[in-house]
Structure 1
Amino acid sequence: MFSITPISAQDAPSKGKLVIIGGGSRPSSMLDRIIKESGIDQSGYGIILPMSSAEPDSAIYYSGKQFIEKGLKNIYGLDFVKGEVLTKSKVDSIRNAKMIYISGGDQNRFMNIVAGTDIEKAIHHAYNNGNLIAGTSAGAAVMSKMMITGAELKHPEYASTFRNIDADNIEIGTGLGMLANVIIDQHFVKRSRYNRLISAVIEHPEMLGIGIDEATAILVIGTDAEIIGDSQVIVLKNPKRSKNVHGDKLGAHDIQLNIYLPGEHFQLN
């Protein structure tokens, strides 16, 4: 593993930035924006956390490749396994990173390793000290506190999208909680995951449902979310907290749906 001299935390901690990517390819302009917003082209370093992936070495390589192609030499991979005895140097490497990038794979695998550990605390420390946390696909799903696991409770055979809008069907886990009042879904338009997110906002009407398409991200600064990349972000709200059930089937009235394009903004509060 590598050795890094820790960077001092900022004197006046402030909330950082989030780049939540819907999976798929990462346009060059998106990488440019991540680099600019994090400032890693000027100072500090970036860390790739590959624990969502079943092949962490490959995840580190492919996640870092585009950064390296843009001339950055300060991007490092840092892998952890469940139950590992955490050294101060490895935890500090996360705490002091100007950019933390969480790879794709399986969000449940990632949270099974980091939940309740100093790794999770270090990610929050970096964010609260003004640094940037990015994640793609599974790395996007873990950004919310209420995390879609990808599984269906009533239809356990895997499908890339829900085939039904059923009551008590969507399985929810606990993510990192970088955002508390939203549920994130990814690969959204490409994999037509509307049924899943509709189910989520009916079952959990206090949450904002955010479906991010591939090659697309939201840049979150404070309560502002800006769409960056190539495609769309779908936002679902259930303002009247409407929920009707007939047998297994869910119903609701006055669900709001907005489709945002690159360069547009919406508010998270």
Structure 2
Amino acid sequence: MLFLLLVVALQTSVSYAQQKEVKGKLFIIGGGSRPSAMIDRIILESGIDKEGYGVILPMSSSEPDTAAYYAKKQFLIKGITNVHALQFVKDEKLSSDKIDSLKNASMIYISGGDQNRFMEVVANTDIEKAIHEAYKNGSLIAGTSAGAAVMSKMMITGNELKNAEYSSTFRNLQSENIEIKTGLGMIDNVIIDQHFVKRSRYNRLLSAVIEHPEKTGIGIDESTAILITGNKIEIVGEYQVIVFKNPKKSKNMYQDKLGAHGITLDIYLPGETFTIK
């Protein structure tokens, strides 16, 4: 009996330690315009109006200076002057000062563009480690569009493996068609998709949860975000967040066409919350 009590106490202690391990929050925006109230919420959750500073990472963009300018402008309009761009390039010799600036930021904001371009610069570098350390220590990690896609460990690239011509949405549900690469892994048990309702990306995310049923698919519309605090997700902004789950791990095939049964779909509105494992 004493042994069982010790085991339970140890498990509780480990669980509590895991909950306490990450002090930061994620603010994941589905792209499009960012309403004024959304910027207010970023400022509130990060606390940069009271102390610390924010960093903009514009490496997703083909025009990083322009991306940084417009991201910074929204904070300047609010009277927040302590937000600065920090640009990195692939294979750069990283200075400790630059990494420390990232690691100690109260807010890290990843711009839109191309998620593949961002990860080519950041993957397996001290930049990636610094972002995770900042998050662990209490920073708000935010990102929009491509900056949203990089948040999950399994990252949708936007490419179709069986259709070379790019389309904003998948034409059908095909097996082995969705290209997945490794993202930042700020959150491990979901797959993030963006511009979701606006660009009708249902086929893409459905393909993902059929082929990777252990993951929850979260599609975030434009001008909308999810705020993740621990295992709680709050919808912020103007439109919907669509959540797909495949609890039965169902996957059926006809030639290369995908089918499944028991997939759940939830549509969340601004102000609503839900939890994830």
TM-score, structure 2 normalization: 0.92
Equivalent residue letter for 1:111: M
The answer for unaligned runs of 5 or more in structure 2 is 1-19
Cα deviation for residue 156 of structure 1 reads 1.4
Indicate the RMSD between aligned Cα atoms, in angstroms.
0.8
Instruction: Report which of the two has the higher share of helix.
Output: 2
Equivalent residue letter for 1:64: K
Deviation beyond 2 Å, 4+ runs, structure 1: 12-15
Equivalent residue letter for 2:189: N
Partner-residue secondary structure (3-state), 1:32 = helix
Aligned partners of 1:164, 1:63: CA distance in 2, in Å? 35
Query: Does residue 236 of the first structure (1) align with residue 259 of the second (2)?
Result: no
Deviations 1:123-175 (A, max 9, x none): 00000001100000000000000000000000111001101100110000000
Query: Does residue 21 of the first structure (1) align with residue 63 of the second (2)?
Result: no
Q: Which residue among 146, 156, 160 is the counterpart of 2:164?
A: 156
> Aligned residue for 2:42?
34
Aligned partners of 2:105, 2:273: CA distance in 1, in Å? 27
Deviations 1:168-221 (A, max 9, x none): 100000000000000000000000000000000000000000000000000000
> Aligned residue for 2:96?
88
Identity of aligned residues (%): 72
Alignment of 1:175-254 (within 5 A): 175-254=183-262
Greater Cα radius of gyration, structure 1 or 2: 2
Q: Which residue among 75, 84, 92 is the counterpart of 1:67?
A: 75
Cα deviation for residue 13 of structure 1 reads 6.3
Aligned partners of 2:202, 2:23: CA distance in 1, in Å? 31
Contact 1:38 1:131 in 2 (8 A): yes
> Aligned residue for 2:141?
133
> Aligned residue for 2:66?
58
Partner-residue secondary structure (3-state), 1:44 = coil
Query: Does residue 117 of the first structure (1) align with residue 125 of the second (2)?
Result: yes
Partner-residue secondary structure (3-state), 1:236 = strand
Contact 1:13 1:130 in 2 (8 A): no
Cα deviation for residue 14 of structure 1 reads 3.9
Aligned partners of 2:36, 2:171: CA distance in 1, in Å? 34
Contact 1:209 1:236 in 2 (8 A): yes
TM-score, structure 1 normalization: 0.95
> Aligned residue for 1:103?
111
Equivalent residue letter for 1:180: D
Equivalent residue letter for 1:232: Q
Equivalent residue letter for 1:30: M
Equivalent residue letter for 1:212: I
Partner-residue secondary structure (3-state), 2:205 = helix
